[in-house]
Copies of this chain bind each other. A is one copy, B any other.
Amino acid sequence: MFTEVKQTSKPLPQLVSEEIEKLIVLGEFKPGDRLPSEYELAQRLGVGRSTVREATKALVSRNILEVHRGNGTFVCEQTGLVQDPLGLRFQPDKKRLGLDLCEVRLMIEPEIAALAAQKATEEEIARMQALCDAIEEKVRRNENYGALDQQLHTLWAACTRNAIMPNLVPILSQAIPLFIDITKRALQMQSLRTHQAVVDAIRARDSEAARQAMRVHLEDNRRSIEALPDDDS
């Protein structure tokens, strides 16, 4: 199962982490599986334990492995999914970044809504409605609903049955709270209305109405970013 790694120009720990990654890609270890112990890996790969330890750390920092203290090292469930892989937090001009994100989301999310209208199950539609209601409750209590908002958009993405969408949408939406002051009452009320319009269109299996409702929702967001002062430092 393991091939012994040989020293080439690459550092040994990198070779070991590539070897472990390859075994995950090939499906020999699956999400949720526990890896053999450090000692066993070292023996099978013909390297020292400190090399295995270093290789493991590199894979942990890339969300491929996770360490459960006292229980061993496991393959992550969402293997290789990285927070903020586009380096959005390193973009200096936050207002421009917000507008650029809106532009990308306006290409993708209306189409997601249209597909969701065709493919969502009754159970998924019930979950959307529950999330809308929970967001309304948060707004009423003046609490932050950012996490619920992201869950709703990710659920819509999952309804497309496209394996990439539910990974892509959180990447594009996680940065939004950086720009939009979701404590602004007017925007909150707009969001409640437009979220509900998307869910209603999906429930009615009306793709075109879902696409339009999502477009209106995202354009509300865009306008509130456009209204920010240009000097955001």
Contacts and interface: CB of A to CB of B under 8 A. Distances in A.
Contacts of A27: 92
B97 A163 contact: yes
Contact of A89 (B80, B104, B164, B168): B80
A147 interface: no
B78 A87 contact: yes
Interface in A168-216: 168, 171-172
Interface string A20-39: 00001101000100000000
Q: Quick one: which of A24, A62, A96 has the most chain B CB within 10 A?
A: A62
A97 B165 CA distance: 11
A96 B162 CA distance: 9
A105 to B, nearest CB: 10
A86 B165 CA distance: 10
B111 A107 contact: yes
How many chain copies?
2
A160 B31 CA distance: 37
Interface string A82-99: 101111111110001100
A167 interface: yes
Interface in A77-136: 78-82, 84-92, 96-97, 100-101, 103-104, 107-108, 111
Interface stretch (A53-61, A138-146, A223-231): A53-61
Given A61-B61, A62-B61, A85-B81, A25 B162 contact: no
Nearest to A108: B107
Q: Quick one: which of A81, A85, A162 has the most chain B CB within 10 A?
A: A85
